[in-house]
Chain A
Amino acid sequence: MSSHRISRSVSERVLNFTFDGRRYVGREGDTIASALLANGVRVMGRSFKYHRPRGPWGAWVDDPNAVMSVRLGTVELPNCPATTTYLEEGMVARSVNAWPSAQFDIKAGLDVFHRWLSAGFYYKTFMWPDWHLFEPMIRRMAGLGAVSDDVLENYVSEQTHDRCAVLVIGAGPAGLVAARKAAEAGEDVALVDDHRLLGGGVYQQKTLEGKTPDVWVAEQTAAITAAGGRILTATTAFGIFDHQLVGLVQQGAFGTAPKLIRMRAGRVVMATGALDRPITFANNDRPGIFSVDAAAEYLARYDVLLGRRIALVSNNTLADGTEARLTTAGATVIRIDPTTGALKARGSKRLKGIWQDDRLHSADTILASGGMTPTVHLWRHAGGKLDWCDNRQVFVPGKGPDFLTAVGAANGEFDIDAAIAKVREPETAIKTSYHMTPLWPQPGSKGRQWIDFQHDVTLKDVELAARENYVSVEHLKRYTTLGMAHDQGKTSNMAGLAAMAAIQDRPIPEIGTTTFRPPFVPVPIETYHGHHRGQNLHPVKRLRLENAHRAAGAALCEYGGWLRPGWYGAGEAKDRIRAEVLQARKAAGIFDGSPLGKIEVMGPDAEDFVNFVYYNTIATMKPGQIRYGFMLTEGGVVYDDGVIARLGPNRFVISCSSSHVDGVRNHLETWRQDGNDPDRIYVQDTTAHWATVTVTGPKARDIVAALLPNEDVSAKAFQHMTFIETEWQGTPIRVARVSFTGDSSFELSLRQSKAEDLWGAVKSLAEPMGAGLMGLEAMLILRAEKGFIVVGKDTDGETMPHDLGFGVPRSKKKAAFLGDRSLHTEKANTKVRNQLVGLQVEDDSGPLPTGAHLTNGDTRPKSQGYVTSSYLSPTLDQPIALAMVQNGAARMGETVTVWHLGETRNATICSPCFFDTDGDRLNA
């Protein structure tokens, strides 16, 4: 990659490329725009709405006009800014939003109808009879480049993290001096610049500090690297985020994904320069009208003289130097003071001159400068304020975060010598040579005057928005799409807000700016994506027993972030699931419950703590006991359900829902540190250490008895909701009598490395008894038959425990507990709360759809609740459903209408427990 200035008069590597089907030749180091300009091409695109011909306005990131689809070999990328895309051999560039070419675009005729296509046109016109009738056509017409159908192989961004003491953003004169100063002071400096060639605008100077720009820049970079500083070229700081994190994107060769560097900087020096702003006059969007700064850059960096007879329209002194250099390069320059009369460009695709009042100045090129605007985007990302400077007519960095400073043109210091001196000696009073005369859009003036070149927002559009009361700049932006082009308002925002200020007769600073948001330049989504793709995007948690499940023919499905067996065996899933349910009810099911939480709470205050975080009373538990309970949020909403076991006076184990382990651990840690003494309570998540094999069903006790022949697991000796700690094959094992199926159940937990042994042993003992493996789908049916809920499925963000039939602690528990106050509010006690019920259906249309609404059956039905779980119960051979219904507990026996996608059925509200309502099987 070239990183030097181009000299077209001496031998440079020639690069062949095409644009809109025509062949051209450029030089190594060219951008596509500079190469085309060197070939005399000016029309490089079309505007978004009116399809007006567009040529480049700027020479770098501030250009809103020259956007292209570019193909190189097999790689095609849409919407490449021609001013920042470096030319490579064999590139095929096509203009976007134009057909067949930018030079001749068949849709250019739309411009004839511009009087009817002003701001708000779409909103007003396409409302009747239905926007969706017009939407496909408008969408086809809108947009810029199209994404190629080809998949870009290996287009993957490298992502890395880095840090430095001082990050200097921008390697113009001020940035280079700032970086050198910090590096020579011994600080760890990183200097980044978005060009391949460092120096910023320095090449527009004949000399700097008595040296040619090339020599001066080489001296600075040598000094920086000699002092240990790092320099990253082709690297854009696209945003500043929390805690001094700066997003850097580093470009490589065309077609390779850019690299993302997350840079954490101790201090950031913002030397991002300034942008030349357009002058608003009639036909100011014509190809051949450039910024003064761009003309100087094209000449200095790319050896391109933009015109032979140039009208230079400027209100500031920076144009003086450019005028001299253009003249030296062979152009005839006509200087025009834009503050002395109304301007109007003459010509269409090819400029012929510029009118000032009644006088025509013949010219093939117009250079315009309405004054420099500091590039303060990053300052605002970091939360810095902006101050208005009346002398320079700009927003400059005001009060900002301590870690951030602005230098050079970014700080409003447009005179290079003064800016450098200020960096070297910040306290020194600086005398600047920069002067300008205020020049802003004049509402009511004649002709079509462009504010946003790409999006075709004119001064009249701003005036229309103001008449329709879109006077806030944020509303103006959204109503007119001003600033929504790919340059994100770099050229249009100041003119737009100044126009609005003039219309309202208010000072510019009172109008304010729109919000500056990252990224500063367009960044491919891939940059954020990196290696987070495919299975690395949202990886599942893996069971230690996964190989055993695969060997047993498990269908592995994702449940709450875990890859778990849904069912086992080949054939129809529903048949396998039905068989597993029946087997579990008839003999026993063996289930991998390893993801269930095992979060230990220990310490002198452990009892008080769990009594506080649980809705139920936990303090009365004795060691060896287990209790089912709810954890609530502060709002009284059910956050998790599960069981808690007391292992000792100061030790509990919380077995929360599998998918809630991370959340519950954080929930506990939060409350441990808030309102409790964190030095007397400790929360240790041991979930990953333990595997849990669950055996449930009438034969479960026999299986466990065979597994642990030395333990008395009879119903009398080993009661429901208790546990024992013993050993199995010399390994500690916890056996808990907990049931989520309504049948007698045992949870066997031991260290993960012994899980396969235990799984195999239980399976061997179970199979001769008619028992077998069971997946999660069967388990969900088994628990639904008993009316046992799944939090998050059978509850929602408003469900409180009394809605589920657990109302006693609310009225009886004396100790303070999390969520208590919220359970006594008016809303918590209203009669129209959704409550858990069962639903029975008499017809033979199968299970009700989960999510179906329950209504009163009116012609305009209103939802009174919804179905949360619904299955065809293999045990009962009938459909069953759980639902949350308004005032459901008081409506037992009532028939309701179930509405789903326009179809209705009837159902009868009943108890949510469909099976073994007396609980006889629990101790069988």
Chain B
Amino acid sequence: MRNDTARWPEPRSSELIELDGLTITPVTLDRQVLVSGTNALSKETLPLVTWPEVESAASYALAVRRDRVLRVNGPAVIDGWDEDAELAISDVSDGYRVFDIRCHDMDALLGYGGEVALSLPSRSVARLWFGFGTFIYRINENVLRIHVVDYQADAMIDALVSALIKS
């Protein structure tokens, strides 16, 4: 097998990235928990985040599928099948890297990565962005928050930076 060590840069550190008109800040969350079940959305007690509403609460739940949420900074729960609530629960706190992106022109930024637009509401925050599966939502009018699977986080940031540098 070919030694490709020199072909790939070292993994990105958790540093802030600043480009013209845009700042990418890594975010550390206390907890991320995947919860699935037919009632996962309807019985969720945390504020439910859809697109493109702004969610500024400390704890909330991302609607990512008709039967799935990602609880963010919610209370500690036991992993596994909850017989009473009929919910599948998995701690994925380290499974997703999270970034806040502050930018002037949010629609333009979103458009570089995929078919995501403020004018296009959705019950789910799950989006294919720059070819990566992500959860995208807003925590205020100028800041996007993005969750991307841990092992693809560097690649997604690289793609974003590359697209922005060109544009």
Binding site for B on A (CB under 8 A): 156-163, 262, 264, 530-533, 535-536, 539-544, 546-547, 550, 554-559, 562-563, 566, 573, 595, 600, 602-604, 606, 647-648, 650-651, 678-679, 682, 684, 686-690, 751-753, 776-777
Q: Can you pick out 30 interface pairs between chain A and chain B where the beta carbons lie within 8 Å of each other? A: A158-B163, A160-B112, A161-B114, A530-B163, A530-B166, A535-B158, A536-B158, A541-B155, A542-B151, A547-B11, A550-B5, A556-B4, A558-B1, A558-B4, A562-B151, A573-B3, A600-B90, A648-B80, A651-B80, A679-B38, A684-B92, A686-B34, A687-B95, A688-B92, A689-B92, A689-B94, A689-B150, A751-B94, A752-B94, A776-B1
Residues of A within 8 A of B80 (CB): 602, 647-648, 650-651
Known: A158-B166, A531-B159, A546-B10. A689 touches B36 (CB 8 A): no
Given contacts A555-B3, A753-B94, 5 further A-B contacts (CB under 8 A): A540-B8, A547-B10, A557-B1, A562-B151, A595-B151
User: Which one of A161, A603, A682, A689 has the highest number of Cβ atoms from chain B below 10 Å of its Cβ?
Assistant: A682
The answer to the question of B53 belonging to the interface, with a C-beta cut-off of 8 Å to chain A, is no
Chain A's nearest CB lies how many Å from the CB of B152?
Answer: 6
The answer to the question of B88 belonging to the interface, with a C-beta cut-off of 8 Å to chain A, is yes
Residues of B within 8 A of A539 (CB): 152, 154-155, 158-159
Residues of B within 8 A of A558 (CB): 1-2, 4
The answer to the question of B42 belonging to the interface, with a C-beta cut-off of 8 Å to chain A, is no
Alpha-carbon distance between A531 and B156 when the two chains are bound, in angstroms:
12
Q: B115 contacts A161, CB within 8 Å?
A: yes
Q: B117 contacts A684, CB within 8 Å?
A: no
Alpha-carbon distance between A563 and B155 when the two chains are bound, in angstroms:
12
Residue-wise, chain B 85-117 has the 8 Å CB interface mask toward A (1 for contact) of: 000101111111000000000001001111111
The answer to the question of B22 belonging to the interface, with a C-beta cut-off of 8 Å to chain A, is no
Residues of B within 8 A of A163 (CB): 115, 117, 119-120
Binding site for A on B (CB under 8 A): 1-5, 7-8, 10-11, 34, 36-38, 67-68, 80-81, 83, 88, 90-96, 108, 111-117, 119-120, 149-155, 158-159, 162-163, 166-167
Alpha-carbon distance between A161 and B151 when the two chains are bound, in angstroms:
26
Known: A686-B34, A751-B93. A156 touches B150 (CB 8 A): no
Interface residue SS majority, chain B: mixed
Residues of B within 8 A of A647 (CB): 80
Interface residue SS majority, chain A: mixed
Residues of B within 8 A of A546 (CB): 10-11
Known: A160-B112, A163-B120, A531-B159. A554 touches B11 (CB 8 A): no
Chain B's nearest CB lies how many Å from the CB of A733?
Answer: 13
Partner of A531 from the list B10, B152, B163 (CB cut-off 8 Å) is B163
Residues of A within 8 A of B120 (CB): 163
Chain A's nearest CB lies how many Å from the CB of B32?
Answer: 9
Q: A554 contacts B5, CB within 8 Å?
A: yes
Alpha-carbon distance between A312 and B110 when the two chains are bound, in angstroms:
54
Residues of B within 8 A of A600 (CB): 88, 90
Partner of A606 from the list B38, B81, B115, B158 (CB cut-off 8 Å) is B81
Q: Which residue of A lies closest to B120 (CB)?
A: A163
Q: B3 contacts A682, CB within 8 Å?
A: no
Residues of A within 8 A of B162 (CB): 531, 533, 536
Q: A648 contacts B36, CB within 8 Å?
A: no
Q: B5 contacts A556, CB within 8 Å?
A: yes
Q: B151 contacts A158, CB within 8 Å?
A: no
Q: A535 contacts B8, CB within 8 Å?
A: yes
Residues of B within 8 A of A678 (CB): 67
Alpha-carbon distance between A777 and B3 when the two chains are bound, in angstroms:
12
Alpha-carbon distance between A406 and B52 when the two chains are bound, in angstroms:
35
Alpha-carbon distance between A163 and B90 when the two chains are bound, in angstroms:
36
Q: B81 contacts A159, CB within 8 Å?
A: no
Known: A556-B8, A777-B1. A159 touches B151 (CB 8 A): no
Alpha-carbon distance between A555 and B167 when the two chains are bound, in angstroms:
35
